[in-house]
A and B are shown apart, each in its own frame.
Chain A
Amino acid sequence: MVRADESHFDVAIVGGGFVGLALAAALERASGGDLKIALIDAAPIQDLEAIGADPRASAITAASRRLLDVLGVWPQLADRAQAIRQIDITDSPLEAAVRPLLLHFDMALDGDEPAAHMVENRDLLRALRAHVLDLESVSVFSPDRISAMSAGRQRADLELETAGPISARLVAAADGRRSSLRRMAGIKVVGWSYPQIGIAACVEHDAPHEGHAVQHFLPAGPFAILPLKGNRSSLVWSERRDRGAEILADGKERVLQEIERRFGPRLGRVRLAGPYGGFPLEMHIARAFVAERLALLGDAAHGLHPLAGQGLNIGLRDVAALAEVVVETARLGLDIGGEATLERYQRWRRFDSALSATAMDGLNRLFSNNSDGLRVVRALGLGVVERLPALKRFFVAEAAGFTGETPRLLRGEQI
């Protein structure tokens, strides 16, 4: 028997973004509401109307979609999600009149399940928040902040600026790339930023995209056209930092002009259909993913070059792995915030994250260079991929999130 205590939780989740919300939902679902969860966020997350405009959209891999499905969130998102049917990849200088198709992937897994869907970030955030706010076993502290954390052999004590002290057996830091919990725990980060920024925008076009995603590898970096619901697409490209800042400062007309230069004629005339913005491109990985009573998830643990839009999916892999480890430990009555539990989580996630980070970085360096030699290497490389169905299937599976030791939620199974 366990004595009850109002301010004591099984898990305290710090950060109410995608990753923190998904973790709360996953722990609730797998424990049948038996785990007592605190969710803390600096913004007032109870107000769904306050979700700001965001030009970004995310590619939800089939694995991530299965997780959202098991959590009961996907049904709320399904009719706002656009399946990616095919990815076309081209590699040519900006001024080239014709961009020959270098490689294309049919993005369907066995049984015709799309390997990925595009979802606008604010839709995903709204669906996750609405779901989590309805959960009885989740206590939301928001807006509130952690001012201090101390971890001991039995539990972690957190000091909240507004609500005062609470304690938890496990603290999950999903508080982003500038994670304050990571800093409090003294975990160092290795990382670097790129001499580029990412520009994201949402556009409307005359012709239907038919679910095609297009990736033009241009000398300054990749330009991606990702299909959204309707005749709309989400655009992301990278620019040298100074040039990017100049484009954004010039305003709408200039942004549209730059888009038109890259967009190609396939989808007809194009206009801006929402906000646009610039985002720093950087990579980082925490030296450790765990500390005493603390687990890092999502951007608090690792940030990827957003080239393949895998940041969110990797964050959801963290969620699936941590939820599985925690719930299995809880079902044995063992300490969910103990060393053995955290070590298992770290072992499961570190290799995978480091591998993805390195692969994305390599891909970006390979494709962000104007040398003809490299262009030949790229063409040969991708040509080889094009001719080897097995390798291609591997890339599609990788893009769908099914390589490595896959946590159960990502296979669409209950924990």
Chain B
Amino acid sequence: MISSSKSPTGETLDQAEVERFAAMADEWWDTQGKFKPLHRLNPGRLAYIRDNVCGHFDRDPRKLGCLDKLTVLDVGCGGGLLCEPLARLGAHVTGIDPAKETIEAARQHASLQSLEIDYRAARVEDLAQAGELFDIVLVMEVVEHVPDVSAFLATCAATLRPGGRMILSTINRTLKSYALAIVGAEYILRWLPVGTHRWERFVTVEELRRALGSAGLDLADATGLVYNPLSDDWLLAGDTDVNYLAAASFSKPSV
């Protein structure tokens, strides 16, 4: 086990991005605050993770303990918005984030909820080097913030157990996503602070498939997550033009 406290100086993470999120750490759990959009996204993201993982590991997604004893690594876990629900579903969750304040906020919150989650201020490189392996590796809303997607995903893949499942989410780089995610979400609706996203960093489904492939992973599925303004929530759909989720497994499971 590693409990890394060294400051993030690695190549795969952009320092400026890390600091911006750390400043928001305390606000993670305010459902009406700055992270409201993530809270709104959460049911759709969780449904996708649950159903895809249950399909992969042959579990019944209607059981409240459907993820019982599966180990999960959440890369870039932030305040723990995914770690906590997954822990409630029975998973043994490890959440890592390079920002210490964020991890501290996540830890405090989980303990108030009587949830046991292994939070560490660490980078995925640290876990990969230590040879830690997980049944499920989550790379959610992260790849659009890293400079080298292929290198980053190769490191993430090094923490995935053979036969395991990687779940990713990101934003597609299309004109529609520029209009909705940058102009709409940041400038008009003010869901996100201006500058949260850089459109040129968004990742197309094809780019994601290639990056996963070079890490030895097959893209098994890509599903859109579409905002419904009438019900003010996000629904899983075929349209991957803006937000989308993906699942991947090793092409040739090694032993």
Chain B residues lying within 8 Å of A31, measured Cβ to Cβ, are 64
Chain A residues lying within 8 Å of B116, measured Cβ to Cβ, are 1-3
Does B87 reach chain A (CB closer than 8 Å)? yes
Chain B residues lying within 8 Å of A153, measured Cβ to Cβ, are 29, 112
Binds A, one of B42-50, B137-145, B178-186: B42-50
Does A334 reach chain B (CB closer than 8 Å)? yes
Give the distance in Å from the alpha carbon of A331 to the alpha carbon of B46 in the complex. Answer: 9
Give the distance in Å from the alpha carbon of A347 to the alpha carbon of B113 in the complex. Answer: 27
Q: How many A-B residue pairs have CB under 8 A?
A: 62
Give the distance in Å from the alpha carbon of A329 to the alpha carbon of B61 in the complex. Answer: 12
B43–A332 CB distance below 8 A: yes
Q: Across the two chains, which residue of chain A brings its CB closest to B43?
A: A332
A332–B47 CB distance below 8 A: yes
* Interface hits, A100-122 → B, CB 8 Å: none
Chain B residues lying within 8 Å of A332, measured Cβ to Cβ, are 42-43, 46-47, 50, 85, 89
* Interface hits, B43-62 → A, CB 8 Å: 43, 46-47, 50, 61-62
Does B115 reach chain A (CB closer than 8 Å)? yes
Does B97 reach chain A (CB closer than 8 Å)? no
Q: Across the two chains, which residue of chain A brings its CB closest to B62?
A: A331
* Interface hits, B72-104 → A, CB 8 Å: 84-92
B85 in complex: contacting residue of A1, A5, A333, CB < 8 Å: A333
Give the distance in Å from the alpha carbon of A351 to the alpha carbon of B228 in the complex. Answer: 20
Does A277 reach chain B (CB closer than 8 Å)? no
Does A340 reach chain B (CB closer than 8 Å)? yes
Does B252 reach chain A (CB closer than 8 Å)? no
B64–A34 CB distance below 8 A: yes
Does B65 reach chain A (CB closer than 8 Å)? yes
* Interface hits, A22-37 → B, CB 8 Å: 31-32, 34-35
Q: Across the two chains, which residue of chain B brings its CB closest to A3?
A: B114
A334 in complex: contacting residue of B29, B85, B90, B91, CB < 8 Å: B85
Does A291 reach chain B (CB closer than 8 Å)? no
Q: Across the two chains, which residue of chain B brings its CB closest to A10?
A: B64
Does A165 reach chain B (CB closer than 8 Å)? no
Give the distance in Å from the alpha carbon of A338 to the alpha carbon of B43 in the complex. Answer: 13
Q: Across the two chains, which residue of chain B brings its CB closest to A31?
A: B64
Does B196 reach chain A (CB closer than 8 Å)? no
Chain B residues lying within 8 Å of A34, measured Cβ to Cβ, are 63-65
Give the distance in Å from the alpha carbon of A1 to the alpha carbon of B94 in the complex. Answer: 11
Chain B residues lying within 8 Å of A339, measured Cβ to Cβ, are 31
- Tally of contact residues, B, Cβ under 8 A: 28
Does B165 reach chain A (CB closer than 8 Å)? no
The verdict on A331 contacting B61 (CB below 8 Å), with A1-B87, A1-B92 known, is: yes
Does B39 reach chain A (CB closer than 8 Å)? yes
Give the distance in Å from the alpha carbon of A140 to the alpha carbon of B140 in the complex. Answer: 42
Give the distance in Å from the alpha carbon of A331 to the alpha carbon of B47 in the complex. Answer: 9
A35–B114 CB distance below 8 A: no
Chain A residues lying within 8 Å of B63, measured Cβ to Cβ, are 32, 34
Give the distance in Å from the alpha carbon of A339 to the alpha carbon of B36 in the complex. Answer: 12
Does A330 reach chain B (CB closer than 8 Å)? yes
Give the distance in Å from the alpha carbon of A32 to the alpha carbon of B63 in the complex. Answer: 7
Does A370 reach chain B (CB closer than 8 Å)? no
Chain B residues lying within 8 Å of A32, measured Cβ to Cβ, are 62-64
Chain B residues lying within 8 Å of A1, measured Cβ to Cβ, are 87, 90-92, 115-116
Give me the interface of B with A, judged by CB distance under 8 Å.
29, 31, 39, 42-43, 46-47, 50, 61-66, 84-92, 112-116
- What are 10 inter-chain pairs, A to B, with CB distance below 8 A? A1-B91, A1-B115, A32-B62, A153-B29, A330-B64, A330-B88, A331-B66, A331-B89, A332-B43, A340-B31
Give me the interface of A with B, judged by CB distance under 8 Å.
1-3, 5, 8, 31-32, 34-35, 153-154, 329-334, 338-340
- In addition to A3-B115, A333-B84, A339-B31, 5 A-B residue pairs with Cβ atoms within 8 Å of each other are A331-B62, A333-B87, A334-B42, A334-B43, A334-B85
